[in-house]
Amino acid sequence: MTDAKDPVVGDSFKMGFRFQNYWGTSIATAFFFAEIGAGLFLLSLYLGNLLGMVLGLLVEGLLKPYFHLAHMGSPKRVLRALSRPDRAWISRGSLGFGLMMAGGVVSVGAHPAVLNLSHPIVMGAAVVGAVGALIVMVYQGLAMMDSRAIALWTSPFLPIISFCYSITSGCLVLLALGWAGLDAPHRELLRDAAMITLILDAVMIGGIILTARNRSPGGAFSADLLVSGPYARLFHGLVLVVGLLVPLILLAAAGHWHFVTVLAALAMLVGFYTFRWLMLRAGVYEPVGRGLLESLNLG
């Protein structure tokens, strides 16, 4: 619901809400593939599934950088951002990306299905790859939370939901694509983990909405955009129903069937991408000058 006192004012000099336009579809897609690749790789590394490890590294190494570059627009801007770990979250995230890729490539090369190597260096590489994946899984949420000007993004739940969505997508993608290479206990483990994290995803989304509502007028405005405003149909229909409720029901009712896990994975990924896109679209800056006017009792 739009606040009549502070309407959307676009690029005018009037007092009101302004949508952020810097982070758009490209960065939402980069975050989406980064979390899928990291979650898929980490779970596959834990289970020793070569196919999942390779797919996770390919998603992380090809799709995430492509959409990040599409967002940045110029390789020179990327290099400048990478050189500033004290200021740029893309630099800190790239550290995790590099650790994951380096450790992951060694781990894949030393997998028993490839070279059958057993050496402390290989174990160290696996640990490095896992640490890098964990960094990638949370840094998107940390980067958004650091944007203090946008109340919707300042919730402490953002890094947690990044991690949870990463695990959820990793579980379901591995089940969908690596079913034949998984034994029954591992399938059950992944199915149960996906169901738990689907519930956690829903809880974290609720926490983000409630935190935004109570933080500031801009946060309340963003929450209304998602819950009852122009984005409500996408939020309720795709994020909550298709992305969370449908896969949860499918897994609980018939998660032992492969084609059901494929459907659950597809539904979850649709909801996950919609969530990533909507979190950027619904981000608004606080009304310029309102806080100052109120503090001076002039507004």
pLDDT tens profile 122-175: 888 899 999 999 999 998 888 888 877 888 999 999 999 999 999 999 999 999
Closest CA to 184 of 256, 264, 93, 263: 256
Report the pLDDT averaged over residues 266-293: 84
For residue 86, what pLDDT is reported?
55
For 262, the token pair is 């494929």
Give the integer Cα–Cα distance in Å for 131 and 158.
19
Residue 3, exposed/middle/buried by CB under 10 A (0-12, 13-18, 19+)?
A: middle
- What pLDDT is recorded for position 12? 46
Instruction: Indicate the pLDDT class of residue 116, thresholds 50, 70 and 90.
Output: low
In angstroms, the CA 213 to CA 228 distance is 13
Residue 216, pLDDT > 90, answer no
Higher pLDDT, 220 or 86: 220
Q: Express each pLDDT in 45-100 by its tens digit.
A: 999 899 999 999 999 999 988 886 765 655 555 555 555 555 556 667 778 888 99
pLDDT at 271: 98
User: Apex CA 166: angle with CA 165 and CA 167, to 5°?
Assistant: 90
Does pLDDT of 38 surpass 50?
Answer: yes
Which tokens belong to 219? 């946060």
Q: How far apart are CA 51 and CA 178, in angstroms?
A: 7
* Residue percentage of the chain with pLDDT more than 70: 80
Residue 243 CA to chain centroid, in angstroms?
13
What is the C-alpha separation between 219 and 215, in angstroms, rounded?
6
- Determine the Cα–Cα distance for residues 46 and 129; give it in Å rounded to an integer: 11
Which pLDDT does position 189 carry in this prediction? 96
Return the closest-CA partner of residue 299 out of 213, 217, 229.
217
Tell me the average pLDDT of the chain.
Answer: 85
Evaluate if residue 1 carries a pLDDT over 60.
Answer: no
What is the model's pLDDT at position 236?
97
pLDDT in tens, 174-194: 999 999 999 999 999 999 999
Distance between CA atoms of residues 134 and 126, nearest Å: 12
Residue-wise DSSP of the chain = ---SSS-B-TTSSSSSBEE--SS-HHHHHHHHHHHHHHHHHHHHHHHT-HHHHHHHHHIIIIIHHHHHHHHH-SHHHHHHHHT-TTT-HHHHHHHHHHHHHHHHHHHHHTSTTTT----HHHHHHHHHHHHHHHHHHHHHHHHHHT-TTBGGG--THHHHHHHHHHHHHHHHHHHHHHGGGS-HHHHHHHHHHHHHHHHHHHHHHHHHHHHHHHH-HHHHHHHHHHHTSTTHHHIIIIIIIIIIIHHHHHHHHHTTSHHHHHHHHHHHHHHHHHHHHHHHHT-EEPPTTHHHHHHTT--
Output phi, psi for 292, to 5 deg: -65, -45
pLDDT at 22 over 80: no
pLDDT value at residue 16: 64
Report pTM: 0.86
Question: Is the pLDDT score of 250 beyond 60?
Answer: yes
Quick one: pLDDT at residue 245?
98
Which residues does 87 contact at the CB level (< 8 Å), separation at least 6? none
Torsion of CA 286, 26, 79, 42, to 10 degrees: 100
The predicted pLDDT at position 65 comes to 83
